[in-house]
Amino acid sequence: MQTCFTGVEIGRDDFGNRYYHSRSTPKGVREKRWVIYAGEPEASKVPPEWHIWLHHTADAPIAKDSPYRKIWQKQHQQNLTGTAEAYLPPGHTLEGGKRHKATGDYQAWQPEE
């Protein structure tokens, strides 16, 4: 409710999160910026282009056609740790606890005596 009265929507990201800044800011005070999450509130849902805006690193989020965006960059993905979609390496207890035998190129470290 407070966002409706005190905030101005700046934009939305690909996840549906909405970004706001305060309508008025007193002189000498830094503008307040915040996000209203689409769905469950999770800070890792904020993509880098909006993160820099939220934390006053940039005056605006990075545009989609910006030269700072590279073709090889992956799409932002929220942190999936603790969810069913989390990465589990081979040998993890939740993946059966079995891992492939070492290929012979591994030598365990032994402290010097």
Q: Is the pLDDT of residue 69 over 90?
A: no
Check residue 37 and give left, alpha or beta (phi > 0: left; psi -120 to 50: alpha).
Answer: beta
The pLDDT score that the predictor gives to residue 36 is 93
Domain range list for the chain: 2-64+77-95
Encoded amino acid at 5, one letter: F
Neighbours of 6 (CB within 10 A): 14
pTM: 0.68
Distance (Å, rounded) from C-alpha 94 to C-alpha 113? 38
Confidence grade of residue 91 (pLDDT, cut at 50, 70, 90): confident
The pLDDT score that the predictor gives to residue 106 is 72
The predicted-structure confidence for 15-57, as pLDDT tens digits, reads as follows 899 999 988 888 888 889 999 999 889 888 898 889 999 999 9
